Amino acid sequence: MKHVVFAHRKLSFGGGERVLVEQVAALADLPVRISVLFNKDPDKRDVEPELRARHPRVEAVLHLPGAFGAWQWLRRNPADLLVVCNHKGVQRALPFLGRRPPVLVTLHEHYRRHLAKYRGIRKLVSEWIITWAFEEAVRAQLGDQPCTVIHPLYPRQGGVPPDAAAKAGARAALGLPEDAWVVGYAGQMDRRKDPVSTLHLAEALEQAFGRPLHMLLAGREEPATALALDQALAGSRLRERAVRTGPLADIGQAFMALDLYLMTSRNEGFFPIALLEAMERGVPVVVPTIGGISTQLRDGEGGFLIAKPDDRAPIAPALLEATARRVAEVMADPAAWEVQRRKAIALASGLAQGYDAAGRFRELVARWL
pLDDT tens-digit map of 101-117 = 999 999 999 999 999 99
- H or E element that contains 112: helix 112-115
- List, in order, residues 6 or more apart from 79 with CB less than 8 Å away: 3, 4, 5, 35, 101
Flag whether pLDDT at 121 surpasses 90: yes
Q: What dotted CATH number matches 2-154+355-368?
A: 3.40.50.2000
CA-to-CA separations, 357 to 33, 130, 353, in angstroms, rounded: 21, 12, 11
Quickly state the pLDDT bin for 155 (edges 50, 70, 90).
low
Chain segment 224-245, per-residue pLDDT in tens: 999 999 999 999 999 999 999 9
CA angle 121, 123, 125 (to 5 degrees): 70
Average pLDDT in the chain: 95
- The CA distance from 278 to 286, in Å, is 11
**What residues does each domain of the chain span?**
2-154+355-368, 164-352
Flag whether pLDDT at 258 surpasses 80: yes
pLDDT of amino acid 14: 84
Residues 254-277, mean pLDDT to the nearest whole number: 95
- H or E element that contains 182: strand 181-186
Quickly state the pLDDT bin for 355 (edges 50, 70, 90).
confident
Residue type, 154: Y
Quickly state the pLDDT bin for 37 (edges 50, 70, 90).
very high
Residues 72-100, mean pLDDT to the nearest whole number: 96
Flag whether pLDDT at 297 surpasses 70: yes
pLDDT of amino acid 354: 76
Residue of 318, 317, 293, 312 lying closest to 304 (CA atoms): 293
Lowest-confidence region among 74-83, 102-111, 274-283, 351-360: 351-360
Q: What dotted CATH number matches 164-352?
A: 3.40.50.2000
Same fold across 2-154+355-368 and 164-352: yes
Chain segment 202-217, per-residue pLDDT in tens: 999 999 999 999 999 9
Tell me, what DSSP letter sits at residue 261? E
Tell me, what DSSP letter sits at residue 213? E
- List, in order, residues 6 or more apart from 282 with CB less than 8 Å away: 161, 162, 341, 342, 344, 345
Quickly state the pLDDT bin for 88 (edges 50, 70, 90).
very high
